[in-house]
Amino acid sequence: MNKRDFLKGLILFFPAGGMLGALAGMLEAKEAAPAQTGTAGAAPKPGPKAYDPKSHYYGMGIEIDKCIGCNRCVEACKAENDVLQEPFFFRTWIERYVIKKDGNVVVESISVKSKAPKEASQDDADVLRTFFVPKLCNHCVHPPCVQVCPVGATFSTEDGVVLIDSKRCIGCRYCIQACPYGARYLDPRTKTADKCSFCYHRVRQGLLPACVEVCPTQARIFGDLKSKASRLVRFARLNKIHVLKPSLNTEPKVYYAQLDGEVR
Amino acid sequence: MRMPEQVKRLAVVIAVIIAGALITRFYVIPRSLTSNELHRSSTVQRELAKPVKFAGSEICQGCHETEGIKKNKSFHRNVSCEACHGPAVKHAEDPTAVKPPAPRDRKFCPVCHAYDASRPTGFPQINPSVHNPLKPCIACHNPHDPVPPQTPKACSACHAQIERTKSVSSHALLVCTTCHTVSEQHKRAPRTALPSKPQTREFCAKCHGKDSPQKEPPKIDVTTHGTPYLCWQCHHPHLPEGRG
Amino acid sequence: MSEVLHELLEQITGFIYPNEVEIHWSLLIVVYPYITGLVAGAFILASLVKVFNVKDLQPTYRLALLTALAFLLVAPLPLLLHLGRPELFYEILLTPNVTSAMAMFGFVYAWYLMGVLLLEVWFEYRRDLIVMAGRERGLMRWIHRALSLFSTDTSEAALAFDRKAIRAITIIGIPSAFLLHGYVGFIFGSVKANPWWSSVLMPIVFLMSAIVSGIALVIFLYMMLAAIRKEPVDMRCLDTITSYLFYAVIVDFSLEALDFIHRLYESEESVKILGKLITHKLFMSLFVLQILIGMFIPLGILVVAKWRRLNEDGRKLLYFTAVILIQLGIFSTRWNVVIGGQLFSKSFRGLMAYKLEVMGIEGFLSAMALLALPFVILAVLIRVLPTKRLADEASGAAPS
């Protein structure tokens, strides 16, 4: 075949390919367009009292200076969300930081009761600062877990909560690798990924997440960033706010007040 | 243009495969399997259908008004009922059939109130082994109004870490009120009615100045040493000798 | 499962986030980039013949193609076996999340299998399939006719077209092979949460070590096949191919050294815990297996083999030893990346432990079976598709 014939053939391929592409595009658009007039389980029409996710945006505030490390939040979360009682599946947990005068930092998770001997117990005189830090899923604005999920099983709702579709999750564990905060784990019963959901089932009913509900010192504050009267907005007005690992640009929505620089 | 016959055959196979894939994906496979919106809305429905285990303090106070009113004026006003009584939604639904536990054990209250250096200063902490051992906590402290039987005169009931630090220092025998004036309000609203801190260098000079009548404390020349700062901006008054 | 985790909990040093005690990506996820690396490497070797006209390597061309195909067919298996819900694997093709590298890889794989490898194998073997169909009767005849898509044209013009097509496909195939295995490197390299993985160099290093392992594998198979068939080895081919292997190892080593030096020099926050990681947890697999046994010693062997002007048998022995050590080294490289990246906490304050099971779907035996399977498939492929061009129908002589 000479060059001319080859080029002629090539010219034919473009319209053929274009037609195929257009066909695929049309088919995809037809499928993606939501059904007209509310058939087959599409989103309900917002009535006067119906919940409009766009008008809410949830976040959490944590005051380090108020946390007493009692672990009530951890236990309440496990009770509310049916999390296994084992010491390796936590939707939320508490860390203790002990910063010594010689610069050493000792960290342990007080929510894990392991049989291993603890780090040397604190000798008060050597301690410069010590405090508790509650941790949980940060429900980031740019969640790396949502970005990497191959099947889109984890997603952000419009009201700012990152949820997991456990029916779609294939258990590839990429999201667990991608989370910089260690907030995710694999539920061994369903073999799908699991994590804190901000107790979405409670929040939608106007209740507080279980961890916020039982905290005896109100170290955890839950609120709606879009509301005019919100504990969280007041919290953000009165405190200088930190987030975990800001350099990773995940924009977490769990805001810490009085967070120490040693916390990772 | 003459296309070699093998390419014609190949083109047919490729076209069949591509068309088959497209038709299967967009026609044969139902939308319920592929639509993101449907998947997400059904996930939200499944989340919302999950059972609630903690009822929330408001619900409890709907029936238990007396306890609620008492607790809301007490030091435990921010402690929700279920923090101690556990998840109680079942009780709220059928109060006579299900009763939430009421912890009466001495092991229970120290979960929050046992001394722990990492707990914020000002949070009431005791050492359970020496604080009225063997007596149940509720014998002296009503959990819904946990005022101690004697209002603690010493500050160490709440400021245990400071007390421990100070007790091994050279200031061990100085009571807190030596340097801090405290109003009664501080026991009711500790974070707003704050105790005072000495605001002049002359205050510390009462013991540490060259002219001081006290003989034991180390002496400095208050006019030159460390001006213009206040003494406690460098020296930790609760452990002046420091460690390392 | 929980018993294993309880054990692992006792082996933690320092502080880890509680959920991190479980190592999620196991030995199977070490096997997977190893296999796709072999595919990419074998294909690049084949491309040296068809695109860069290195005629000396012609005897290994078909073997390299079939090797790439055999390993590519097995590549998705470790992934499938590792999934928590393998029965839902189709979702990754049906409803992929376009921001996910893992999802897009499914399509890169499909493209490479269908649009590059199968197409090239078909064009390469079309003539031989027609020749074989002409010679056989019965079932084998129909199989060969079907595989050739019932084509019958063996004219010079048609064969010339086949050769041009192979060239074109290989030209497209080189970036496709880069994409195939570079993508695996990107899947790791784009995880910003993990400083051991997160690196711009990760796809490049993955690709270079893939080329090393692919070339080494084809050398190994070529020598094994010649021994099994009791045929002589083409020494010019072997000497040329080991030269390419030598240069590839040098480049691979340079890239890995660059990554190491760069990390040490920049000394970012994670450098302390990563230092602990490689000295406490990865000492054997990194310094001994990957670097010493996997790179330095084979490099030394290859230098000796080439500069000392040994006889044929001496060279063959040294080459064979070198390629086996290289395979061990590249497998260790994959281990150090995949498992190594999961042995330190994202709090940068602690180290975890990995327990390799013997039995079980993600255990040692399972991984060995997956590594052996492509050889079985290759044996079947070689039966159906001969590694040497068949003689013409009319003349009895094998064409050049």
Residues of chain C contacting residue A146, judged by C-beta atoms under 8 Å apart: 99
Give the position of tokens 């967009």.
B26
Rounded CA separation C377/B121 (Å): 70
Q: Is A129 helix (H, G, I), strand (E, B) or coil?
A: strand
Give the pair of three-digit tokens for residue A118.
């603890």
Q: Spell out a b/e string for A56-91, using b for 16 or more CB atoms within 10 Å of the CB, else e.
A: bbbbbbbbbbbbbbbbbbbbbbbbbbebeebbbbbb
d(CA C105, CA C184): 8
- Dihedral angle over CA of A255, A258, A260, A263, nearest 10: -30
Nearest by Cα to C127 from C396, C390, C329, C322: C390
| Strand A154-156 to A58-63 pairing | unpaired
**C158 to chain B: which residues are within 8 Å by CB?**
4-6
pLDDT at C397: 39
Instruction: State CA B34 to chain mean position distance.
Output: 44
Backbone CA torsion sign across C349, C355, C361, C363: positive
C-alpha distance from residue C248 to each of C41, C242, C293, C301 (Å):
10, 10, 16, 15
Contact A109 C17 (CB under 8 A): yes
Beta-carbon contacts of residue A146 (< 8 Å; ≥ 6 apart): A154, A155, A156, A162, A175, C99
CB contact under 8 A, C94 and B33: yes
Q: Alpha-carbon distance A199 to A201, whole Å?
A: 5
Least CB-CB distance to B31: which of A31, A126, A213?
Answer: A31
Q: Are B4 and C158 an interchain contact pair (Cβ–Cβ within 8 Å)?
A: yes
Residue C220 contacts residue C323 (beta carbons within 8 Å): yes
Q: Residues 206-235, chain A: which have Cβ within 8 Å of B?
A: 207-208, 210, 213-218
- Helices of type H across B24-106: 31-34, 36-48, 57-63, 65-72, 81-85, 89-93
Q: What are B99's two structure tokens?
A: 């009763």
Which chain C residue has the Cα nearest residue B39?
Answer: C95
Q: A169: helix, coil or strand?
A: coil
C341–chain A nearest CA distance, Å: 10
Q: C330, C217 in Cβ contact below 8 A?
A: no
Tens-digit pLDDT string for chain C (400 aa): 678 899 899 899 999 999 999 999 999 999 999 999 999 999 999 999 888 889 899 999 999 999 999 999 999 999 999 999 999 999 999 999 999 999 999 999 999 999 999 999 999 999 898 888 888 888 888 888 888 888 888 888 889 999 999 999 999 999 999 999 999 999 999 999 999 999 999 999 999 999 999 999 999 999 999 999 999 999 999 999 999 999 999 999 999 999 999 999 999 999 999 999 999 999 999 999 999 999 999 999 999 998 888 888 999 999 999 999 999 999 999 999 999 999 999 999 999 999 999 998 999 999 999 999 999 999 999 988 888 877 665 443 344 3
Q: What's the gap in Å between the CA of B29 and the closest CA on chain C?
A: 9
Amino acid letter, residue C289: L
Task: Name the residue ranges covered by the structural domains of chain B.
Answer: 1-31, 51-102, 198-238
Contact B43 A163 (CB under 8 A): yes
Write down the pLDDT at residue C25: 96
Contact A66 B120 (CB under 8 A): yes
Q: Which residue of C has its CA nearest to A187?
A: C84
- DSSP 8-state secondary structure symbol assigned to residue C393: S
Phi and psi at residue A217, to the nearest 5°: -115, 10
- What's the pLDDT at A119? 47
Q: Which stretches of A124-259 are DSSP H helices?
A: 144-148, 174-178, 200-203, 210-214, 231-238
Residues sharing a CB contact under 8 Å with residue B26, sequence separation 6 or more, in sequence order:
A24, A27, A28, A30, A31
Segment B158-161 long-range contacts (CB within 8 Å, at least 24 positions apart): B158/B121, B158/B122, B158/B123, B158/B124, B158/B125, B158/B190, B159/B121, B159/B122, B160/B115, B160/B125, B160/B126, B160/B127, B161/A124, B161/B115, B161/B117, B161/B119, B161/B121
Q: Which residue has the tokens 């807190």?
A: B176
Shortest Cα distance from B58 to chain A (angstroms)? 10
Torsion angle in degrees (nearest 10) through CA of B125, B126, B127, B132:
-160
- Measured in Å, how far apart are chain C's first and last C-alpha atoms? 59
Which chain A residue has the Cα nearest residue C2?
A86
Q: State whether residue A97 sits within 8 Å of chain C by CB.
A: no
Q: How far apart are CA C219 and CA C225, in angstroms?
A: 10
Minimum CA–CA partner of B161 in chain A: A124
Rounded Cα gap, residues C311 and C132, in angstroms = 39
Q: Inspect the interface and report whether the beta carbons of A79 and B50 lie closer than 8 Å.
A: no
CB-based contact (8 Å) between B236 and chain A? no
Residue A247 Cα, gap to closest chain C Cα (Å):
10
Helix (H) / strand (E) element for A194: namely strand A192-194
- Listed in order, strand segments (DSSP E) in chain B are none
Cβ-contact C197, C189 below 8 angstroms: yes
Size of interface A-B (CB pairs under 8 A): 154
Check A88 against C18: CB less than 8 A apart: yes
Residues of chain A with Cβ-Cβ distance to B87 below 8 Å are 76, 79-80
pLDDT at A135: 98
The kind and range of the H/E element at A257 are strand A254-257
Cα Rg of chain A (Å, integer): 24
Q: How many A/C residue pairs have CB atoms within 8 Å?
A: 146
Give B57-94 pLDDT, tens digit per residue: 889 999 999 999 999 988 898 999 999 999 999 999 99
Chains touching chain A at 3 or more Cβ pairs under 8 angstroms? B, C
Tell me how far apart the alpha carbons of residues A15 and A5 are, in angstroms, rounded to a whole number.
17
A139: three-class secondary structure by DSSP? coil
| Helix axes C27-50 and C156-189, enclosed angle (nearest 10) | 140
pLDDT band at A36 (very low <50, low <70, confident <90, very high): very low
Q: How far is C255 from chain A (nearest CA, A)?
A: 25
Q: B51-102: which CATH number, 1.10.287, 1.10.260, 3.30.160, 1.10.150?
A: 1.10.287
Contacts of C165 in chain A (CB under 8 A): none
Beta bridge partners of C13: C351
Tokens, residue C229: 């068939």
Q: Which residues of C touch B13 (CB under 8 A)?
A: 149
Measured between beta carbons, the chain C residues lying within 8 angstroms of B34 are 94-95
Q: Is the Cβ pair B168, A152 closer than 8 Å?
A: no
Give CA–CA dist C183/C207, Å, rounded.
Answer: 9
| Segment 106-145 of chain A within 8 Å of chain B by CB | 122, 124-127, 130-132
Planar angle of CA C268, C271, C275, nearest 5 degrees: 170
Which helix or strand (DSSP H or E) is residue C97 part of?
Answer: none
Residue among B227, B190, B222, B241 at smallest CA distance from B180: B190
Tell me if the bond preceding A134 is cis, omega within 30° of 0. Answer: no
Residues of C in contact with A170 (CB under 8 A): 83-86, 88-89, 91-92
Q: What pLDDT does residue C192 have? A: 96
Q: Please give the residue of chain C at the shortest CA–CA distance from B29.
A: C94
Burial (CB count <10 Å: 0-12, 13-18, 19+), residue B223: exposed
Give tens-digit pLDDT for C317-344: 999 999 999 999 999 999 999 999 999 9
| Tokens at B237, concatenated | 């008054």
Distance CA A93, CA A208 (A): 18
Phi/psi zone of residue A41: left (φ > 0), alpha (ψ -120 to 50 degrees), beta?
left
pLDDT on residue A114 = 61
> Considering only CB atoms, which chain C residues are within 8 Å of B29?
94
- Helix axis angle for C202-229 and C27-50, nearest 10°, is 70
Candidates C247, C219, C244; CA nearest to C233 is: C219
Q: Which of B5, B17, B36 sits opposite C153 (nearest CB)?
A: B5
Strands A58-63 and A254-257, bridge-based pairing: parallel
Whether C327 and C38 have beta carbons less than 8 Å apart is answered as no
- A217/B120 Cα distance (integer angstroms): 11
**Backbone dihedral angles phi then psi of residue A171, each to the nearest 5 degrees:** 70, 35
Interface probe for A, chosen from C26, C32, C100 (most Cβ of A below 10 Å), is C100
Q: Which of residues 33-72 of B touch A (CB under 8 A)?
A: 34-44, 46-50, 52-54, 56-57
Chain C residues closer than 8 Å to B17 by CB: 114
Tokens of C269: 């926050």
CB contact under 8 A, B34 and C150: no
Place of tokens 């480049």: C251
- Contact call for residues B197 and B179 (beta carbons, < 8 A): yes
Which residues of chain A from 149 to 168 reach within 8 Å of chain C, CB to CB? 149-152, 168
What residue spans of chain C are helical by DSSP H? 2-10, 27-50, 61-74, 76-82, 91-94, 101-110, 119-135, 139-147, 156-189, 202-229, 235-266, 271-276, 297-307, 312-338, 364-384
pLDDT digits 0-9 by tens, B102-161: 999 999 999 999 988 899 988 888 888 888 888 999 999 999 998 887 777 678 878 888
Question: In the structure encoding, which two tokens stand for residue C294, read together?
Answer: 């996997």
Cβ distance of A172 and C84 shorter than 8 Å: yes
Yes or no, beta carbons of A151 and C95 under 8 Å apart: yes
Chain B neighbours, 3+ Cβ pairs < 8 A: A, C
Query: Which chain B residue shows the shortest CA-CA distance from A30?
Result: B26
Residue in A closest to B168 by C-alpha: A125
pTM for the model: 0.88
Distance CA C323, CA C294 (A): 9
Residues 6+ apart with CB under 8 A from A243: A138, A251, A252, A254, A255, A256
Classify residue B120 by its DSSP letter: P
Q: Are the CB atoms for C184 and C36 separated by under 8 Å?
A: yes
User: Do C122 and B10 count as a contact with CB atoms less than 8 A apart?
Assistant: yes
Distance from CA of B153 to the nearest CA of A (A): 23
Tell which wins on pLDDT, B117 or A93.
A93
Q: Which of B34, B37, B123 sits opposite A68 (nearest CB)?
A: B123
